[in-house]
Amino acid sequence: MNTNTKKTRTLMTSITTAASLTLLAGCNTLTDAGLNLNRAPPEVGNRFLVGAFELLKPADNYGYTGEFSPSEQALRERSRKFDRTVWQGALIGAVTGTAIGLVAGGDAEDAVGGAIVGAGLGALAGMYVANKQKQYSKQEEQLESITADVRGSNRELNALIAEAKAVVAADKKRLADIESRHKRGKVTEAELKQVKARVWSNRDVTKKAAQGARDQYAMYKQAHQDLKSKGATKTRSLEKELDSYRKSLDALDKIAVSVVEA
């Protein structure tokens, strides 16, 4: 059995184990099916529970059945680039030479409930640096490639922030309008539920993207430290991009909080 096959089997075993634990965790008795419309259900391990029973997962959009606007669709499309299971899977796939990257972004993501596919951030950083070393023999080229990756992530993150701002502004206006009309008896409870479900769904997309981006930043930061420990000195450009990325993350976190408050 070659090394790539062993790595692939180890990763798939991690996926299967995580999926089993997720399913077992859901085998609880329904103790309280009441849904408070004034706040989203509590999040537990990337799943949302009412009482002790899993109900209305983020993937279900909390029961929202309407169409999403072009801005909401654009937010979802771009946010996938920061989904940890997607970028992590792509990295592992690049290192092992397997299709794990594609698997992690598809059904496996639902199966494991967003669980880590076999590696912590430190290990991922090591894989990332090792892959750059495999691609480029000179340390200067490795640094340039990593800097370009962080710069690209910065661009995507700033675009995500702009899309999130537009969605949050529309959500706040939509929510204020429906609540005002509901108080006056102009809309039904079902219509109110649909708008709140839409807002909560947008909130979760933003929160998940923010967490995935922060994890990616941590990986980049660790990769930077690994290279410095190996004697790299011309790291100024990379450090500048990392600082810019961190500031953008702080901005996205604030937007995510404002969605929660909506």
pLDDT at 262: 52
DSSP-assigned letters across all residues of 163-186: HHHHHHHHHHHHHHHHHHHHHTT-
Q: What is the pLDDT of residues 144-189, one digit of tens each?
A: 999 999 999 999 999 999 999 999 999 999 999 999 999 999 999 9
Calculate the dihedral angle through the C-alpha atoms of 212, 242, 162, 204, rounding to the nearest 10 degrees. Answer: 20
Q: What is the pLDDT of residues 17-60, one digit of tens each?
A: 333 333 333 333 222 333 333 444 444 444 433 333 333 445 57
Q: Can you give the residue ranges of every domain in the chain?
A: 3-261
pLDDT at 62: 86
Structure tokens at 51: 């009482």
Nearest to 26 by CA among 132, 111, 148: 111
Calculate the average pLDDT of the chain.
Answer: 75
Q: Mapping DSSP to helix (H, G, I), strand (E, B) and coil, where does residue 76 land?
A: helix
- Position 12 confidence tier, pLDDT thresholds 50, 70, 90: very low
pLDDT at 18: 36
Is pLDDT of 71 > 70?
Answer: yes
pLDDT at 94: 77
pLDDT at 86: 84
pLDDT at 216: 94
- Position 258 confidence tier, pLDDT thresholds 50, 70, 90: confident
Contacts 24+ apart (CB under 8 A), 105-111: 105/80, 108/15, 109/83, 109/85, 110/59, 111/15, 111/18, 111/19, 111/22
Q: Rounded to whole angstroms, how far apart are CA atoms 150 and 228?
A: 16
Mean pLDDT of 229-257: 92
Backbone angles phi, psi at 188, to 5 degrees: -85, 165
Could you tell me the sign of the dihedral formed by the alpha carbons of 182, 188, 194, 197, in that order?
positive
The more confident residue out of 112 and 242 is 242
* Alpha helix (H) residue ranges in 39-106: 70-79, 84-96, 100-104
Is pLDDT of 220 > 60?
Answer: yes
Q: What is the pLDDT of residues 179-213, one digit of tens each?
A: 999 999 999 999 999 999 999 999 999 999 999 99
Report yes or no: 248 and 154 within 8 Å, Cβ to Cβ. yes
> CA gyration radius for the chain?
21
The more confident residue out of 31 and 6 is 6
pTM of this structure? 0.70
Is pLDDT of 64 > 50?
Answer: yes
The more confident residue out of 256 and 75 is 75
pLDDT at 256: 83
Mean pLDDT of 117-125: 75
